[in-house]
Structure 1
Amino acid sequence: MADTVREIERKYEADQSTRLPDLAGVDAIVTVAEAGTEDLDAVYYDTAGLCLAAEGITLRRRTGGRDAGWHLKLPVAPGVRDEVRAPLSDTPPPELTALLRSRLLDRELVPVVRLRTHRTVQVLRDAQGAPLAEIAVDAVRARRAAAGPRKAKSAPAKARWHEIEVELAGDGAPGLLDAVGRKLTAAGVRPASAASKLARALAETGLRREAPAGHGHGPDGRPAEGTTNGSGKGSRKGSGKRGDTAGDVVLRYAREQVRTIIELDPAVRRDLPDSVHQMRVATRRLRSAFRSYTKVLDRGVTLPIGIELKWLAAELGVERDREVLTERLRAGLAGVPRELRLGPVDARLRIWSERRRAGARGHLLAVLDGPRYLSLLKTLHAFLEAPPLRPAAARPAPAVVAQAVLKDYRRLAGRMEAALAAPAGQERDEALHGARKAAKRARYAAEAARPALGRPAKKFARRVKRVQQLLGDHQDSVVARAALRELATQAQQAGEGGFTFGLLHGREEALAADRERALPDVWRKASRRKHRAALRP
């Protein structure tokens, strides 16, 4: 069984002569206690191309010390990583390699570096004796694995260095690291140039890393980055590079979505908050870009990918839709006076939700472990390596992307007209749901176009988002009413009565009617001619 700990630390350069300053009295530190020494032996694993190291991810098998076992470190922010731990075994544990599937695909993990560390530890404690942080002075010996990845010519097989690590523990606050860092710097200690021991070992032994998955890269091999106009704000001409082509803009957006899918895979597997929703949004945005920018990307290539993205979004939606629906029903129930909550309605809702969650969660993990998802990941990697660009991709971006956004707007306008004219009931519900999908597509097209069109695209996307949200709230009410009818039926069959669920059903009907009344005015404001005219370059 894997455990996870949040690791917040700072690293500093050191040598054999480095002596730590007295840290008592720094911030909340009152005492500094010697904690002895440890001898650690770690073998780091990666692919032959070092794809994990390229993204700041480390997987190691370590013996010695207090936490011997397998450690997978996933970056969260600079200086912050989640360390997922598993017991010692001879081969990488499946519960850890599953978290790497979106990066590894089906590539083999091999030993790349072995690090032996002699560590001297001190514990920094507060006035009550509680540990705030640990500071370690490490003497490190690195050796390149005999059958590891490619190495630069004439690179040494071994490396040695000293370093200092300061890691929060117990009740320590992040500000403590700043205070300790100032004390160390004042004593002549410099911040480390490498983010991790592995990064330094790879650099000093000349091992070569490939570009991170999902990133574009230029002739120098470094990931391509999005650009701004220097102020961090979009300009009228947009925030892309001057002279950007339509292909540049659309591919930058596509890369961002692919990278999001890849990076969120382990978060979804770990059931981290909002991860399923964000991964689903990325799949929808990418599919929407394929459909909106058919003059830039060859539809013959992107259509099959879009079908698979739609499948993945639907699979992610099983869990996400359950979360949203449960939150909505719980909020509705919380607003019902206690005297109107007849029967065990809270327990009924909890049981109903948990049964759905158990099935949805297991199904989603099976999907992520399945061959169809792996095939999609490989296809996305191949798409970025050889984008299927059409002739219009070489044209200046503004005119091409504006045309795509306006095309999606016309599609939305047609669906809105049909929805507003539809008779009340199921026919209107379905028409409004179709308009919601069109609004989402128009909004995503505008978001992708923003680097080329600037503020007008941002404002257009914001206005269309208001329409989408109104339509989304209406659709959520439609789904909630179906769930409430199911709950009321179950309650009646159990002899509990369905009065409270019927009350909530009536409230949802009233809410949907209110959204329908508000829609014409919201749409009128969003569809003004001047908003569309502003998009034209």
Structure 2
Amino acid sequence: MADSKREIERKYEATTATRLPDLSRVAGVSAVAHQGVSDMDAVYYDTEDLRLMAGSLTLRRRTGGSDAGWHLKFPVATGIRDELRQPLSDTLPRPFAGLLRSRIRTSALVPVARLRTSRDVHHLLDTDGALLAEVSVDTVRAERLTGTGATADWTEIEVELADDGDPAFLDAVEHRLRTAGIHPSALPSKLARALAETGPPEQHEHDRSTSPATPPTTAGDHVLAYVRHQTEAITDLDPAVRRDLPDSVHRMRVATRRLRSALRTYRKILDRHVTDPVCDELKWLATELGVERDQEVLEARLRTALDRLPRTLTLGPVDARLRLWSVARHGGSHRRTVAVLDGERYLALLESLDALLAAPPLLPAASSAPGRALPRAVLKDYERLAARVAHALDLPPGHDRDLALHDARKAAKRARYAAEAARPALGKPARRLARRMKAVQSLLGDHQDSVVAREALRTLAVQAHAAGEPTFTWGLLYGREEAEAADRERELPQVWHRASRPRLRAALEG
């Protein structure tokens, strides 16, 4: 994968007459070291309908300066981006092609702008000579490479925090700049400014069909807003999953499940003859993502349980065996996940979601007020959960009850997601119901995690026995997991009682 750097910077308006104030007066700065001027030439790429720009992504090929090569930037938060780098080449590096696939699909990347920059660099240093921040005065010449080919010129100031620096330091620098009459830029990047100043970007039909023009008012509006949000989350999280970033698989899987849940719950709003095939593909994707996510959860649970044991109870090379088992399973699962994201079936799913949002299959109930149609759908999911909980509690402890509790957990998740989708329209009652459903889901999820952990512990014990290692520790952990599951089962009636109070239902029904 490409080299990665967390970029924390702020941009400020300037003119050719602007002069930097004395930044040595900023708290913490001992010296300002002039690094000279360098010239850079960058070509920025996007699709013709600017899909990367719409997702706040930036792709460029730059020559000159200290970091010539291909750069791909992903937004993290305001003023914070992850910049990935690849060596200079004539064609788009293969790793970048994969990271951009969910965004550009089958569209071609074309050069959209060329920016030639003369950069005057100053380093802000502390008393030990360590870098605090880099301040650059950039004189930019931008050329539009699509449409009219118009040009624009401007000067701006960038302040980039040093690696592992304190973001609060940027506040101190900004205070000094503002005092000197230098103010933050209105646009977030050079490319955004180049496109804005060389002519309005053309809006593609894709953008218009997937972006809401007005705030949601009808039941259909609210459901589509939720569907749109989860669809965008899948697209946005795709590169993070490929990069194996923490929690990315989990978040993408949750978005997939939330989307599927909404399409299933609100079948009176969106025609199921259109959405059911999409639901089937979303179920497939969630299952594929689950291979890696379930391994992450299981590994963390076993590691935590093992770390809590006194050393006197850890007999044999348990750490080494768990580590080897985890590495082997995780490596294979991540490769499999990336292969899924590279496949045509996944790409077809993304296209089908775009098509659904472009021409939503709305039913007559979609035009009704949200206070009428949405509560009915939410309460239907709630009743399904109530039946499954009652069935599970009627069974004696054992395998059949474990399966029934797992079914109840899935129903709790669907009821929670249904309430969350309705929350913008229904307000506090939906928020309360979602919170109660989450409590039930969490308890049942912990129970299911214990069931899965016991299966893994038995496997580890069998492997240890075959290698001539002690199995005592694995058996001890197995017994503790049994006790944990029993505790959750004893807690369920009380948690469910709090979640099923009649007043919650009455408030939701209005």
Give the match for residue 252 of structure 1: 225
1:183 aligns with 2:176: yes
Provide the aligned length of Structure 1 versus Structure 2. 509
- Percent sequence identity is 62
8 A Cα contact 1:401 1:449, kept in partner: yes
Unaligned runs of 5+ in 2: none
SS in 2 for 1:76: strand
1:130 aligns with 2:111: no
Give the match for residue 322 of structure 1: 295
Give the match for residue 217 of structure 1: 211
| 1:465, distance to aligned residue in structure 2 (A) | 1.4
Give the match for residue 4 of structure 1: 4
1:30 aligns with 2:33: no
State which of 445, 456, 460 in structure 2 corresponds to 1:483: 456
| 1:216, distance to aligned residue in structure 2 (A) | 4.3
8 A Cα contact 1:213 1:259, kept in partner: no
- The amino acid of 2:242's aligned partner reads R
Deviation track 1:493-531 (CA, whole Å, cap 9, x = no partner) reads 000021111111111111111111111122122112222
Give the match for residue 201 of structure 2: 208
- The amino acid of 2:442's aligned partner reads Q
8 A Cα contact 1:156 1:204, kept in partner: no
State how 1:127-206 maps to structure 2 within 5 Å: 127-145=127-145, 148=146, 151=147, 157-170=150-163, 172-206=165-199
Give the match for residue 118 of structure 2: 118
* Higher helix content, 1 or 2: 2
8 A Cα contact 1:56 1:74, kept in partner: yes
8 A Cα contact 1:213 1:381, kept in partner: no
Give me the whole-angstrom Cα distance separating, in 2, the residues matched to 1:102 and 1:266. 8
State how 1:274-423 maps to structure 2 within 5 Å: 274-423=247-396
8 A Cα contact 1:54 1:209, kept in partner: no
Give the match for residue 454 of structure 1: 427
SS in 2 for 1:29: coil
Change (3 A) 1:218 1:459: closer
Give the match for residue 442 of structure 2: 469
Give me the whole-angstrom Cα distance separating, in 2, the residues matched to 1:335 and 1:134. 45
| 1:418, distance to aligned residue in structure 2 (A) | 1.1
Give me the whole-angstrom Cα distance separating, in 2, the residues matched to 1:214 and 1:304. 24
| 1:278, distance to aligned residue in structure 2 (A) | 0.7
Deviation track 1:259-310 (CA, whole Å, cap 9, x = no partner) reads 1111111111111111111110000000001111000011011111111111
Unaligned runs of 5+ in 1: 226-240
Give me the whole-angstrom Cα distance separating, in 2, the residues matched to 1:174 and 1:528. 46
8 A Cα contact 2:212 2:225, kept in partner: no
With the length of structure 2 as denominator, give the TM-score of the two structures.
Answer: 0.97
8 A Cα contact 1:11 1:195, kept in partner: yes
Give me the whole-angstrom Cα distance separating, in 2, the residues matched to 1:382 and 1:133. 46
SS in 2 for 1:285: helix
- The amino acid of 2:83's aligned partner reads E
Give me the whole-angstrom Cα distance separating, in 1, the residues matched to 2:469 and 2:324. 14
8 A Cα contact 1:214 1:256, kept in partner: no
Give me the whole-angstrom Cα distance separating, in 2, the residues matched to 1:283 and 1:156. 41
| 1:215, distance to aligned residue in structure 2 (A) | 8.3
Give me the whole-angstrom Cα distance separating, in 2, the residues matched to 1:253 and 1:446. 11
Moved more, 202-211 or 522-531: 202-211
Give the match for residue 425 of structure 1: 398
- The amino acid of 1:197's aligned partner reads K
| 1:168, distance to aligned residue in structure 2 (A) | 0.9
Alignment RMSD (CA, Å): 1.5
8 A Cα contact 1:446 1:458, kept in partner: yes
- The amino acid of 1:157's aligned partner reads A
